Chains A and B, each alone.
Chain A
Amino acid sequence: MFRLMRNIHLGLGLVFVLMAMIFAVSSLVIIYRPLLGVSPEKSERTVQLSEQAAAGGPRAAARELMENEGFRGELRQIQEDGDKVSFRIFRPGEGVLVEYSPASRQAKVERTRHGALETMVQLHVNHGFWHDYGPSNIWALIGFLASVGLLLLGVTGIYLWWVGKTDRAVGSVLVSFSLVFGAVCLYLTRLQQ
């Protein structure tokens, strides 16, 4: 049993170590963002849409831009207001905001490209399997499995510590503190309605 638990702990740790690092590093980026001064690269240009794309609605316009300009991701936040249409093409690490007029066929394209750290933040919050952009679904699946893995790592880790018989006194104090402290803080905060 000890050997099995040890191998499960090792296996889960190695399979999810990189995703765990993405979660950890991105969390620290979120916490210390003001100190890090990370800022994205932004560019803006105007593109002429074809007649078919301009008249075909936002999905047609988005498809043409994806094919001709190389934008990748999923289509989001379509908004139409008179002769102004806007939408976003999004994937973790990059977002493109498009505003165009079907009448003039002029599309203003603002591209925001994030660095590695901010991309990790966007992978951290990426969730669910509803994405039109396939890789986002795969990242979300890895994130989900890593979350399950995290719980199993905790449980197997506790087993290994207890069966290992070293530091039982110190360990008991630490895990008891963690559970009591966590429960009390979460309970008291939840009472603040």
Chain B
Amino acid sequence: MAIRRSDAGSAIVTLLTLVVLPIAAFLYLAPDAQRLTSSSLDLREVLYQTVALGVVITILALIKAVIDKASISHLFLSVASEVVSLAFALLVVGVGNIENLGYSSFRISQGKLTTIVALDLRVFLWLTFAVVAAGVLKIVAQFMEVRAERATAQPK
């Protein structure tokens, strides 16, 4: 079973940026993160969701690396990878809650001081949808191109 180096490299980069980096960032911010977990924003939960989605995207990338690019399976896996990436982006924009759809608010209380934060990042939600839609179109176009090349290259 041959592994395409470019796809394998992409999987490694995905693992580093979506799994290793969030874990490292959380450990670096450990004291502040623990303070926030006592508020309505649970950073530990955000980390778990982020790492879980990152692992799924990495696994999809690794499977794609060994599957024939002209196969329907590769097409479906590529589209699935885009959808999971969308979920990841929604998680980031929603500060840990995908259902927030880019608008999040949370409260932190320490003694007599209460801090209320509301974050509006909905513009990035729409940008993400546009990027994913364009990505899916590109995947379908590439799939059809590879199929056409294989059909042309086949001996008659």
A binds B: no
Q: Which residues from chain B sit less than 8 Å from chain A, CB to CB?
A: none
